Amino acid sequence: MNQSKIEVKDLNLSIGNQHILKNINCKIPSRKITVILGSSGCGKSTLLKSMNRLTDLYPKVKISGDILLNNQGIFGKEVEVTDLRKKMGLMSQRPAPLPMSIFDNVAYGLRISGRKKKLQMKLRVEYYLKVVNLWDEVKDRLKAPASSLSIGQQQRLCLARGLAVDPELILADEPTSALDPLSSQVIEKKFMELKDSFTIVWVTHTLRQAKRMADHVIFMYLGEIIEQGPAEEFFNNPQHEITKNFLNGSFN
């Protein structure tokens, strides 16, 4: 049986009287990169953020349907939402370094979950900064504010910070959209390595990036999923008219 990490069932989400996600049904396969593809405003970020219930924060939000993580519903009353969120590292469009030092940014997640041993902390921070290839660039200024880093470095720091709390998934919301091509490449490459150990959901509107990265594609249009499936099938043999138009660029 195909292992799916996340399963979305009949998800509907509206904010006020705006119906943003319509009857979403999809599966996110384990330890693969699933790309949610679609043009701006189609609801792909909202779908991503409903997976770790950041959508709870939206004013006037209404949600029906269910999302299963490891076959367990995430909206149930017994679900501890902080635990749920910790299982999913988030990268946003623009890096959002916390207002503290480089070191503390990575250590933050460890600290709030109660780990306090100093040496262990140091080792872990170093480890995760190495994972994202940032260690050599920052090892001499770990105490400097995170905002002093370049934007590409900040994004890698945010990745290290997310990885440090030991998540099962990484939710990436167009994490390269604010970066220069070179920094984008670094991040993309990192994710290709990470997919062996993590389930990755990557939101993008860039077709070429989706082609480069996707194992599995979910294509959205105006709040609905039009088509989904393994990347090869999706790109080579699209079934739906809208998908075909999007893929050959005659899309508006």
Partner 1 sequence: MTALSLKRIYQDKLNTVVMIMALTLVITTPLIIFASLYTKSSMLFASDHSLWDLLFSSAWEPTKGKFGFLPFIISSIEITILSVIIAAPICFLVAIHLTQYAKHWFVKIMYPVTDILAGIPSVVYGVWGILVVVPLVSDVIAPFFGIQTTGYTLLTGAIVLSIMIIPFILNILIEILNTVPFELTEAGLSLGSTRWQVIKHIILKKAKPGIISAFGLGIARAFGETIAVLMVAGNVIKIPDGLFSASYPLPALIANNYGEMMSIPLYDSALMFGALILFVTIFLFNLVSRIVIYRLERSL
Among 68, 79, 98, 207, binds partner 1 (CB under 8 A): 98
167 CB neighbour count, 10 Å cutoff: 19
Among 60, 116, 118, 208, binds partner 1 (CB under 8 A): 60
**x/- track of binding to partner 1 for residues 186-205 (CB under 8 A):** --------------------
- State yes or no: residue 175 binds partner 1 (CB under 8 A): no
Nearer to partner 1 by C-beta: 73 or 99?
99
Sheet with 72-73, edge to edge strand ranges: 18-29, 4-15, 61-69, 72-73
Among 32, 49, 156, 216, binds partner 1 (CB under 8 A): 49
Bridge partners of 38, per DSSP, are none
- State yes or no: residue 86 binds partner 1 (CB under 8 A): yes
- State yes or no: residue 17 binds partner 1 (CB under 8 A): no
Residue with token string 């069932």: 9
Written as one string, the DSSP assignment of 88-136 is EEEE-SS----SSBHHHHHHHHHHHTT---HHHHHHHHHHHHHHTT-HH
Strand 18-29 and strand 4-15: pairing? antiparallel
Among 23, 64, 147, 150, binds partner 1 (CB under 8 A): 147
Rounded to the nearest whole angstrom, what is the least distance from the CB of residue 164 to partner 1 in the complex?
Answer: 8
- State yes or no: residue 152 binds partner 1 (CB under 8 A): no
Rounded to the nearest whole angstrom, what is the least distance from the CB of residue 236 to partner 1 in the complex?
Answer: 35
Q: What DSSP character marks residue 149?
A: S
- State yes or no: residue 88 binds partner 1 (CB under 8 A): yes
Query: Distances in Å between the alpha carbon of 61 and those of 14, 17, 24, 34, 73?
Result: 6, 9, 16, 26, 19
- Between 151-164 and 181-194, two packed helices, what is the crossing angle to 10 degrees? 20
Nearer to partner 1 by C-beta: 112 or 192?
112
Site residues (vs partner 1, CB under 8 A)? 49, 52, 54, 57, 59-60, 82-83, 85-86, 88-90, 92, 94, 96, 98-100, 108-109, 112-113, 147, 158, 161-162, 165, 171
